[in-house]
């Protein structure tokens, strides 16, 4: 692998619908970039998606949606692997073993569980609680070393490191690598367009809070126009965005889309109001997303091809995971004839 870095990338996106600009800028765009440097495995993680109930038809259509987004964004399936998780049973097998390695105290600290379970955590599924052990398992069943994610996944990756270290320690074998999070780019935490203090999220009931990968050009323009702001002009120095979360978020999105730095955005728009900035941002968002969306729609019109592509990706993933899960089972003491 000349010119490539040592290591194997693994990452995943949940098929829970409403794939949005945060998923693209925080994760999928980085997945595409990393493929020139590493061997990459990108998974559609539907075992995670059912930790909160979803109608079966939506699980399958959302799975195709994430696969189509990976492809439309530019992931090369000849060199790299795209598949849906449930086709490779080794993920769930290793997850069980990791459930026996991870400590309750570790899982109790996971902030995403607290957010997702809400006030009534007695009613959350056991799967939602154990989800970070499954996430560790799917990375480590390939001995993945680097994991590109948005900022919100950092804590789960620290847990994956703790699980790997404890497994290696308990069984006195150097089996699993300590994964490195790759939190890259200017938009590792894109905020809601309606509230600069909460993350842009698939599950926000307000559609105006996010730009979906499926939004058409007019919808993108309308959502940016309606995005919450304050009545000030944009500052010419980054310090002037302090205490202005909505303005900071829109500037951050512009920066990430234009692949530039904050000083150049504020150099261009400092002193101007949102009446000037928002149309420029809308134009940039449309210019970046439109070609991906066209390809995305084309792929979604042919579900049969997507399914067979996921099937052959899963075959290749299984070939990598099978010897690793066999090694782990032997280490743990499970008999195989």
The yes or no reply on residue 209 touching ligand AMP (CB under 6 A) is no
Greatest Cα pair distance in the chain: 74
Closest approach, Cβ 34 to ligand AMP, in A, equals: 13
In whole angstroms, what is the distance from residue 147 CA to residue 182 CA? 6
CB of 14 or CB of 63, closer to ligand AMP: 14
Sign, Cα dihedral of 269, 273, 279, 285 = positive
Binding mask 9-48 for ligand AMP (x = CB under 6 A): ----xx-------xx--xx---------------------
199 is catalytic: yes
Beta bridge partners, 82, equal: 42
In whole angstroms, what is the distance from residue 243 CA to residue 276 CA? 21
CB of 162 or CB of 258, closer to ligand TRP: 162
In whole angstroms, what is the distance from residue 258 CA to residue 204 CA? 26
In whole angstroms, what is the distance from residue 201 CA to residue 212 CA? 10
Whether residue 207 contacts residue 20, with contact meaning beta carbons closer than 8 Å, is answered with: no
C-alpha closest to that of 43 among 1, 92, 4: 92
Report the alpha-carbon angle 47-90-13, nearest 5.
35
Binding mask 46-85 for ligand TRP (x = CB under 6 A): --x-------------------------------------
Binding mask 5-24 for ligand TRP (x = CB under 6 A): -----xxx-x----------
202 is catalytic: yes
Partner from ligand TRP, ligand AMP, none binding residue 97, C-beta < 5-8 Å depending on class: none
CB of 204 or CB of 246, closer to ligand TRP: 204
Partner from ligand TRP, ligand AMP, none binding residue 189, C-beta < 5-8 Å depending on class: ligand AMP
Closest approach, Cβ 144 to ligand TRP, in A, equals: 8
The one catalytic residue among 4, 78, 114, 199: 199
User: Nearest 5°: phi and psi at 287?
Assistant: -60, -40
116 is catalytic: yes
The one catalytic residue among 116, 166, 228, 329: 116
- Which two structure tokens, joined as six digits, stand for 317? 């993933």
- Which two structure tokens, joined as six digits, stand for 243? 């205490």
Location of structure tokens 């979803």? 54
What number of CA atoms fall less than 13 Å from residue 276's CA on the CB side? 11
The yes or no reply on residue 152 touching ligand AMP (CB under 6 A) is yes
The residues that touch ligand AMP, with contacts defined as CB under 6 A, are 13-14, 22-23, 26-27, 149-150, 152-153, 187-190, 199-200, 202
Residues that bind ligand TRP (CB under 6 A): 10-12, 14, 45, 48, 135, 138-139, 147, 149, 153, 156
């Amino acid at each position: 692998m000349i010119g490539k870095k040592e290591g194997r990338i693994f990452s995943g996106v949940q098929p829970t619908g409403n794939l949005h600009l945060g998923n693209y800028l925080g994760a999928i765009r980085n997945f595409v970039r990393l493929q020139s440097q590493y061997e990459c495995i990108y998974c559609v993680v539907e075992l995670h998606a059912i930790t909160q109930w979803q109608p079966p038809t939506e699980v399958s259509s959302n799975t195709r949606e994430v696969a189509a987004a990976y492809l439309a964004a530019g992931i090369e399936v000849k060199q790299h692997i795209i598949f849906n998780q449930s086709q490779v049973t080794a993920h769930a097998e290793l997850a069980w073993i990791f459930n026996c390695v991870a400590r309750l105290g570790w899982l109790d600290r996971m902030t995403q569980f607290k957010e997702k379970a809400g006030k009534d955590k007695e009613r959350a599924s056991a799967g939602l609680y154990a989800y970070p052990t499954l996430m560790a398992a799917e990375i480590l069943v390939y001995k993945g070393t680097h994991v590109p994610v948005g900022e919100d996944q950092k804590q789960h990756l620290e847990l994956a490191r703790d699980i790997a270290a404890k497994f290696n320690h308990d069984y006195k074998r150097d089996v699993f690598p300590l994964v490195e999070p790759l939190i890259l780019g200017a938009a590792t935490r894109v905020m809601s367009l309606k509230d600069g203090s909460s993350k842009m999220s698939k599950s926000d009931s307000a559609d105006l809070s996010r730009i979906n990968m499926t939004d058409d050009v007019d919808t993108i323009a309308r959502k940016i126009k309606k995005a919450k702001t304050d009545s000030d002009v944009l500052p010419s120095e980054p310090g002037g965005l302090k205490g202005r979360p909505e303005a900071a978020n829109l500037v951050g999105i512009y920066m990430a889309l234009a692949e530039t730095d904050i000083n150049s955005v504020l150099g261009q728009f400092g002193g101007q109001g949102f009446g000037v900035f928002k149309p420029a941002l809308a134009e940039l968002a449309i210019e970046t997303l439109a070609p991906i969306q066209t390809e995305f729609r084309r792929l979604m019109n042919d579900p049969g091809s997507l399914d067979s592509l996921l099937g052959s990706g899963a075959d290749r993933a299984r070939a990598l995971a099978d010897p690793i899960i066999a090694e782990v089972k032997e280490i743990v003491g499970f008999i195989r004839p």
